[in-house]
Amino acid sequence: MAAGGAAASHPPNPPLPSKTPLPLLAAEALPESFDWRDTNLLTPTRNQHIPQYCGSCWAHGATSAVADRDNIKRSRDNGGRVWPLTFLSVQNVIDCGNAGSCQGGWDSAAYAYGAESGFVEDGCNEYQAKNQGCDARAQCYTCWPETGCEAIARYRRLVVAEHGRLDTPEPDAASRNALKAEIHARGPVSCGISATAKLDAFRGGSVFRQHIRNATINHIVSIVGWGVDGGTGVEFWVVRNSWGRAWADDGFFRIVTSAFKNGRGASDNLALETGCAWAVPGEWRDARDVLGGGGGAGGAVAAA
């Protein structure tokens, strides 16, 4: 497949228990449309396939959603002031997360890495689109003209406070509203999707749909909102991909929700609502406190 990157099967990853009840909106209180892009708190879409092909959609989907949620959380905590915007390192998750590689992986395993070891900002380890080993430099480094590249000892890591999944083999109104409520309350979520040749070739400008019964997930994206098409009345999800801004609508696309065809649309949105995951960002902590010692590899293993 040209666009995949999600592993076919995954070991169970138990969610961390919620520390506080989540104040989800009731179905009748959910807005008809809601889009986190309207807040200017989202991280930009990226291209997982440069400077070379890499099936790292799972890491892109997970880190972008967590970064969004950290920006949203800090905006709420600081009266709307968010500086600098959080932008997390995908390469560090590939190198050290033990959650996957350029041959595929799992978003929940990336969240588990964030809970155990924390995520680093993108300036620590910029995207190379390749599998590398995990050492202190893979965690955070810089380079100098005289001495070359070396690990940075003092930096911070964003630790995940809790994470979980919203898996629904047969989506319905209740599961659809639960997904909306989670997005509305805390921010974007990562979800699996079947990346088909038709989706590959999609140029945007309309609401995507493709009828496939029992579609197989082979790609990870993030849902950032939903709405209703003014011309057709069709409800859609707003989705961020990781194929660059040249694809579809500046790297985003709209796809029908399971409400399509009078609630029988689950076979028309490429399994998007069947396997979703979320994570709640905690605090930015000193790497030496999170990993121990000098803030280096900390026992993490290299991507396969």
Over 60: is that where the pLDDT of 36 sits?
Answer: yes
Instruction: Name the DSSP letter for residue 77.
Output: H
270 found inside a domain: yes
Instruction: Give the pLDDT confidence score for residue 28 in this predicted structure.
Output: 77
Q: Is residue 36 part of a domain?
A: no
* Mean pLDDT value of segment 146-175: 94
pLDDT one-digit tens code per residue, 124-134? 999 999 999 99
Contact indicator for 88, 122 with CB cutoff of 8 Å? yes
pLDDT above 90 (res 249): yes
Kindly tell me if the per-residue pLDDT of 199 is higher than 70. yes
Q: How many whole angstroms separate alpha carbon 226 and alpha carbon 272?
A: 13
pLDDT given at position 145: 95
pLDDT at 14: 46
Query: Given this model, what pLDDT does residue 27 score?
Result: 75
> How many angstroms separate the CA atoms of 140 and 157, rounded?
10
Please list, in sequence order, all residues whose beta carbon lies within 8 angstroms of the beta carbon of residue 217, skipping any fewer than 6 positions away: 6, 192, 193, 194, 271, 274, 275
Does 5 map to a domain? no
List 13, 241, 269, 276, catalytic entry: 241
Mean pLDDT over residues 103-131, rounded?
97
Whole-number Å distance between alpha carbons of 71 and 81: 9
97 located within any domain? yes
Q: Domain tally for the chain?
A: 1
Asked if the structure places residue 221 within a domain, the reply is: yes
Q: Which domain holds residue 144?
A: 42-291
Confirm whether 219 is a catalytic residue: yes
pLDDT at position 102 over 80: yes
Q: Is residue 21 part of a domain?
A: no
Choosing from 49, 60, 163, 219, the catalytic residue is 219
State what percent of residues in the chain have pLDDT above 70.
88
Query: pLDDT value at position 1?
Result: 36
Cβ distance 299 to 97 under 8 Å?
no
Average pLDDT, the chain: 89
In the predicted structure, residue 295 carries a pLDDT above the cut 90: no
- Alpha helices by DSSP H, the chain: 57-77, 90-96, 107-116, 136-139, 173-186, 197-200, 260-263, 287-291
- pLDDT level of residue 2 (50, 70, 90 thresholds): very low
- Between 287 and 304, residue with greater pLDDT: 287
Bridge partners of 239, per DSSP, are 223, 253
Does residue 246 surpass a pLDDT of 70?
yes
Active site residue 57: yes
Is there a domain that residue 296 lies in?
no
Name the residue among 208, 243, 202 with its Cα closest to residue 229: 208
Catalytic annotation on 60? no
Considering the candidates 13, 49, 57, 125, report the single residue annotated as catalytic.
57
The CATH number that applies at residue 269 is: 3.90.70.10
Measure the CA–CA gap between 87 and 67, rounded to whole angstroms: 6
Flag whether 299 is in a domain.
no
What does the block give as tokens for 54? 């890499």
